[in-house]
Structure 1
Amino acid sequence: MREFQKLDQFRVPPGFRGRGAVVVVLWQVVQSTLFALSPQPFFAWRRFLLRLFGAKIGRKVLLRPTVRVTYPWKTEIGDYSWVGDHVELYSLDCISIGSHSVISQRSYLCTGSHDMADLAFSYITAPITVGDQVWIASDVFVSPGVKVGRGAVVGARSTVLEDVPPEVVAIGEPARVVRDRLASGGNRSCNAISEQSGPRR
């Protein structure tokens, strides 16, 4: 019988997490308490905690208390961006989000996977880059290595497996470009993409 994966052979590569075990565990404790239990309007407090653990967080970034960040030191968010409820920034590799961008609720930015051809089921990672003035609507999955161009919109519940060009609307599983963002005659209502955007002030 063929073997496909032997999880007893799995190993985390040295230095993979980017910080020592003590810092990783400390962040997990801080995230599940001081971050997650903070009142909704305490945006400055959550920015402070992320910066304390090495994240590059711009001015007036709004992050909801239920946001999850795996490794803050591999995370960068530009000025005035919003990150909504239950967003997962799975930053095994670097995640970069530009300025004035929105990552809506329950979206999952995933920088890591596993090598299905390797018996040891080793990690495969690649960074995710989200440009300025992008809207990633509700419940979108973004896969490792993807770049979302400036001004693009990704519709709700889409699965993004390839790069999204600038200034377009992409929707579906997998996501496909359906039109330019500002095309005349298109549905410009937010309901065409998602019922909600990001954090409520």
Structure 2
Amino acid sequence: MNEITNSDVNEIPVIDLSRAPGERAAWGRPALVVYLWGLVELFFVTNPLQISSNLRIRVLRLFGAKIGEGVIFRPRTRVKFPWKLEIGAGSWIGEGVWIHNQDTVIIGRDVVLSQETFVTTGSHAHRNDMALLTSPVEIKDGAWLTSRVMLTGGCTVGTSALVKPMTVVSCDVPANTVFGGCPPSVLGHRFPEDKDQASHGSATE
């Protein structure tokens, strides 16, 4: 790559963010509902003093989230738009998880999202006008995203896959794999393919 001179810098475009389109197009509800959800989320979902997982889930369902039985929803969580969220039965949503779902997020049954994991469905047209671009995310049954994983839009995490801590996921993760490292890649199988192997693995949350 050639060195950039001062004269070259003057020719580099800067996008006027005040003209960037698309934010409200992703809301999916009238502005009053979005603003009301922001207040309700603050008091009943994000609130670190709120100890009732069932109350959190009732509030999310009230605003359109589809959440199965037996789900555990820890404190300090955030959900951008509950009406674009689906969680299967028995899943665990850990403390500090942020689901920034400007598009649909589908989480299967018995899924674990550990502490501080961030799921996002949005990006921007960075070479044009910074318009909002969204794409859905799916996390299939039995998957485990360990602590501080970042999952980006358009990705699918396969059945019973395990994503190691601090991994940025920007591609599909195959079923029954351990995914992570630098750069992130498939590191092996989570469960032995040979059923006669009796081994137990662990991953730090």
TM-score normalised by the chain length of structure 2: 0.87
Q: Percent identity, please.
A: 34
Residue of structure 2 equivalent to 1:21: 31
- What is the aligned counterpart of 2:116 among 89, 106, 109? 106
SS of residue matched to 1:96: strand
Structure with larger Rg: 2
Structure with the bigger RCO (C-alpha within 8 Å, sep 6+) is: 1
1:146 paired to 2:155: yes
Task: Give, in whole Å, the separation in 2 of the partners of 1:175 and 1:89.
Answer: 21
Query: Tell me, which stretches of 5 or more residues in structure 1 are unaligned?
Result: 197-201
SS of residue matched to 1:54: coil
> What are the within-5 Å matches in structure 2 for residues 114-193 of structure 1?
114-118=124-128, 120-183=129-192, 188-190=200-202, 193=203
Most deviating of 18-27 and 180-189: 180-189
SS of residue matched to 2:99: strand
Asked if the contact 2:45/2:78 (under 8 Å) is kept, the reply is no
The 1:115/1:165 distance shift into structure 2, 3 A limit, reads same
- What is the aligned counterpart of 1:48 among 58, 62, 68? 58
TM-score normalised by the chain length of structure 1: 0.89
Task: Give, in whole Å, the separation in 2 of the partners of 1:162 and 1:80.
Answer: 26
Asked if the contact 1:87/1:107 (under 8 Å) is kept, the reply is yes
* Cα RMSD (Å): 1.9
Most deviating of 43-52 and 176-185: 176-185
Task: Give, in whole Å, the separation in 2 of the partners of 1:154 and 1:127.
Answer: 18
- What is the aligned counterpart of 1:60 among 60, 66, 70? 70
Query: Tell me, which stretches of 5 or more residues in structure 2 are unaligned?
Result: 1-10
CA positional deviation for 1:44: 1.1
